[in-house]
Amino acid sequence: MSDFNYEVFCSESYANTTAEAGVCAAFDSINETNAGLDTFFLLFAASFVFFMQTGFAMLCAGSVRQKNVKNIMLKNILDACGGALGFWSVGYAFAYGGADSSKKGFIGNTGFFLTGFTTGGELIGWFFQFAFAATAATIVAGTVAERCKFEAYLAYSLMLTGFVYPVIVYSIWSSSGFLSAFNGEPFLGCGMHDFAGSGVVHMTGGVTALIAAKVLGPRIGRFYDADGNPLPEPVSFGPHSVSLQVLGTFVLWVGWYGFNPGSTLLISNSTAAAVSALAAVTTTIAAAAGSVSALFMDMFLSRMKTGHCEYDITMCMNGALGGLVAITAGCSVMAPWAAFVTGIIAGWVYIFFSSLLVKLRIDDAVDAIPVHFGNGMWGCLAVGLFAEPSRVANAYSDHGNYGLFYGTGGNLLGAQVVGVLWIIGWVTVIMTPYFLILNCLGLFRVDAIEEEVGLDISHHKGAAYDISGPSEEVPQKFEISRSQRKVEMPEQAPAAVAAPPQVEVLVSEDAA
């Protein structure tokens, strides 16, 4: 049965009997059902990935100060809009156009504006990949919040989704990419293994955010006083709504079940189903481990410094997100125990990069750089350590290159390192001059007075929240109105005290 060739068996040149024709019809029906099932699976997964935009919006809105909520929410909405238009027009063509596993190239060149896309598989493939592109752009929004001009945000969002991100996708995920594991002659015999995008999506967004934050500079009062002198201790701008932060974190966690399991791209056979199920399990374990790791490591460090045990909810949330980012590359090739280790280390990586940014005086309003860049890099490297042979064979192919801990040499780890360096180099070379030009033209940062009053008032026709109470005259008018409406009950005379009833006592003559 393993040698059965459906195409030959059901070809016109094959002398089909009635029975054979029935077999072919049954196979056709199965194939149609599988195609519909796979399309629905990608629709479900892509919808979950797109729903992550809600999580990013809530997380960013809760993390910034109250005076900038409208601004950051609008930027998150336009991330989705810009990502859709940029990826529809040129992005998808650059990312996957003309892919051929027998060749290697730098960028795609066919399929602009989805020309020639007619089948369900082609169209749902675009929708799934668009959701990923929008995610890469949204990562930057939180980092540059509260001080970035709206025009600059639109400019670099389109640049990222339309050109920078698609080139990285082509190199690693397209079958023609020079680092692709799906090429006929993969790099180092295996290619880079980034199953759902720790590097392709999260590192790309994280490196872009790092460059943007460095060029843009910190928020007023964060690291320097009014005269430009360094402050002895950085000033922390607290979130205006922890509730929105927690809501955003949970929404992102849920969205990751489309991000990672959905990257199998199909569900209609047992192997793909097993890979998808494994991705769901490892995603859950890594997120939980990262959250606990960051929370208790921060508590331990705080106790060493102050002598008190304090539990920071920000560490708990961002630790979970760091674990999710880290497992994204290896969710399909790691055993559950390896996902646990990856998540534990992800919590430490987040704390290290977050502290490093403060020491370097780089202002990240939502700590997106430690979460996405730091843990995106760790997630790619973790694959080179923990990729298990049997799971690699299921998700990719049995090419003989596995994690370093399985004693097969360092080819896979080497490919992962090269991939990380390639992502950092490409984004840096393109986005650094791009941001510098925006800055030199005065298009990047808002005016100091506009920043101080808040972008909601200076850019968006007023504050996000109406927190003004009634004027002083209103309560007085209310009291007067209430007194006039008061109903006075008429006074009643006290009831007369009734005389006790007269009791007639009859005395018998005998008693007398």
In the block, tokens 């795609």 appear at 108
Count of residues in the chain: 512
- DSSP result, 132-155: HHHHHHHHHHHHTTTTB-HHHHHH
Average pLDDT over residues 486-501: 55
Which of 349, 408, 410, 411 lies closest to 379 in space, CA to CA? 349
Provide the mean pLDDT of the chain: 90
Given a cut of 60, whether residue 45 has pLDDT beyond it is: yes
As a whole number of Å, the end-to-end CA separation of the chain is 130
Q: What percent of the chain has pLDDT over 90?
A: 76
Mark 170-205 as b/e (b = at least 16 C-beta within 10 Å): bbbbbbbbbbbbbbeebbbebbbbbbbbbbbbbbbb
Least confident of 13-22, 198-207, 233-242, 418-427: 13-22
CA distances from 179 to 201, 270, 417 (A): 15, 28, 11
| Nearby residues of 175 by Cβ (< 8 Å), 6 or more positions away | 99, 100, 101, 182, 183
- Reported as a single tens digit per residue, the pLDDT across 195-247 is 999 999 999 999 999 999 999 999 999 999 988 899 999 999 999 999 999 99
How many Cα atoms occupy the beta-carbon half-sphere of 298 within 13 Å?
Answer: 24
Q: What angle separates helix 313-327 from helix 375-386, to the nearest 10 degrees?
A: 50
Q: How far apart are CA 426 and CA 257, in angstroms?
A: 29
pLDDT band (50, 70, 90) for residue 505: very low
Has residue 497 got a pLDDT over 60?
Answer: no
> Taking Cα atoms as reference points, which of 333, 304, 302, 332 lies closest to residue 315?
302
| pLDDT of amino acid 301 | 94
In 3-state terms, what secondary structure has residue 105?
strand
Higher pLDDT, 493 or 83: 83
DSSP state at residue 224: B
**Closest among 146, 69, 59, 65 to 464, alpha carbons compared:** 69
**Fold of the 49-459 domain:** Ammonium transporter fold (1.10.3430)
What's the CA angle centered on 434, arms 77 and 145, to 5 degrees? 40
Residues 438, 427: Cα–Cα separation, whole Å: 16
Residues whose CB is less than 8 angstroms from the CB of residue 182 and which lie 6 or more positions away in sequence, other chains included:
101, 173, 174, 175, 191, 396
Q: Single out the residue of 239, 227, 250 nearest to residue 146, CA to CA.
A: 239
Instruction: Please enumerate in sequence order all residues whose Cβ is within 8 A of that of 144, keeping only pairs 6 or more positions apart, or say none.
Output: 153, 209, 212, 213, 216, 365
